[in-house]
Amino acid sequence: MIGFELVSKRYEGDHQALTDVSFSVEAGEMAFVTGHSGAGKSTLLKLLAMIERPTNGVVTLDGQKLNTVRPSDIPRIRRKLGMVFQDHRLLMDRTVFANVELPLVIAGVAPADRGRRVRAALEKVGLLSYEKQLPGSLSTGEQQRVGIARAIVAKPAVLIADEPTGNLDPQLAMEIMGLFAEFQQVGTAVLVASHDLMLIKRMKKRVVVLDHGKLVADVPATEVV
Ligand SMILES: Nc1ncnc2c1ncn2[C@@H]1O[C@H](COP(=O)(O)OP(=O)(O)OP(=O)(O)O)[C@@H](O)[C@H]1O
């Protein structure tokens, strides 16, 4: 579902962020990508989201090579991808409902279908009764869950998250990770960048470790102790 084959990324100014990274994540699999600050975790996710392009190597999403995608095709391919950010990036002047509905509007889903799907996503994250509220009236953890509802409302094949629990307390962080694990169980490929090693250990999922842009370990879920 997600494939990296000898992927390197060099930013302008000669900064080598990733070097020859190869791994894949299958449908129904969840993996963490971890490593020190600056190790290349965000860059890896940005390549999948087509926010950045690799300098070398091949990135694939659902069998499609992203290297040769034309700019006009990017929105269509991005629909296969749900993205969650640490700072959730919600529209603060729109209701919770409108925020979660946005990907469906962009995808051209008929208004009659949107309400049902938005409510299903909000129910999944336990926020059904908040639909008419503005994000500012919600707690940080609740706002993060709205971001997750928005990421999954269009039923993406792949879910990626960049430090999604960065500013949450440990209990909430576990709850959010539990939600990701649920999506894995229904067949979504889930890739989460995090430097929270305690949390990663507790989740007992596969762990891909980056060090200065190189993949230095790929620990299967069964070997996470
Ligand atoms: N747009 C950019 N231009 C130049 N260099 C960049 C750019 N984005 C990232 N880098 C550099 O690439 C390296 C990898 O950055 P990246 O953000 O992928 O790391 P990270 O592992 O996500 O770090 P953190 O945990 O601090 O978010 C860093 O040294 C960073 O300074």
Q: How far apart are CA 23 and CA 35, in angstroms?
A: 15
Q: Note whether residue 120 is domain-resident.
A: no
Q: Report yes or no on 97 lying in a domain.
A: no
CB of 41 shorter than 6 A to ligand 1: yes
Whether residue 87 lies inside any domain: the answer is no
Residue at 2 is within a domain:
yes
Instruction: State in Å: Cα 122 to ligand 1 middle.
Output: 33
Q: Which residue minimizes the CA distance to atom 6 of ligand 1? A: 11
User: Does the CB atom of residue 39 touch ligand 1 within 6 A?
Assistant: yes
Q: State residue 133's pLDDT score.
A: 97
Classify residue 103: in a domain, yes or no: no
Q: Name the residue type at position 88.
A: H
Residue 218 lies in a domain: yes
Please tell me the distance from the alpha carbon of residue 144 to that of residue 160, in angstroms, as a whole number. 14
CATH number at residue 213: 3.40.50.300
Which is nearest to 121 in space by CA: 149, 98, 142, 81? 149
| Ligand 1 mean position, distance from CA 6 (Å) | 19
Which pTM value belongs to this model?
0.93
Structural domain range at position 38: 1-74+189-225
Residue 153, pLDDT score: 93
| Ligand 1 binding pocket includes 38 (Cβ within 6 Å) | yes
In a domain, 9, yes or no: yes
Ordered mean pLDDT values, 10 residues apiece, the chain (225 residues):
97 93 97 96 96 96 92 90 86 96 92 95 93 95 92 93 86 89 92 94 96 96 84
What is the per-residue pLDDT across 176-193, written as a single tens digit (0 to 9) for each? 899 899 999 989 999 999
Give the per-residue pLDDT at 167.
Answer: 73
Q: Whose CA is nearest to atom 7 of ligand 1?
A: 11
Contact yes or no for 144/88 (Cβ under 8 A): yes
Number of compact structural domains in the chain:
1
Query: What interface predicted TM-score (ipTM) does this complex get?
Result: 0.95
From the CA of 37, how far away is ligand 1's center (Å)? 8
User: In this structure, is residue 182 part of a structural domain?
Assistant: no
Mean pLDDT of the chain: 93
**C-alpha span between 162 and 87 (Å, rounded):** 9
Q: Please tell me the distance between residue 174's alpha carbon and the centre of ligand 1 in angstroms.
A: 26
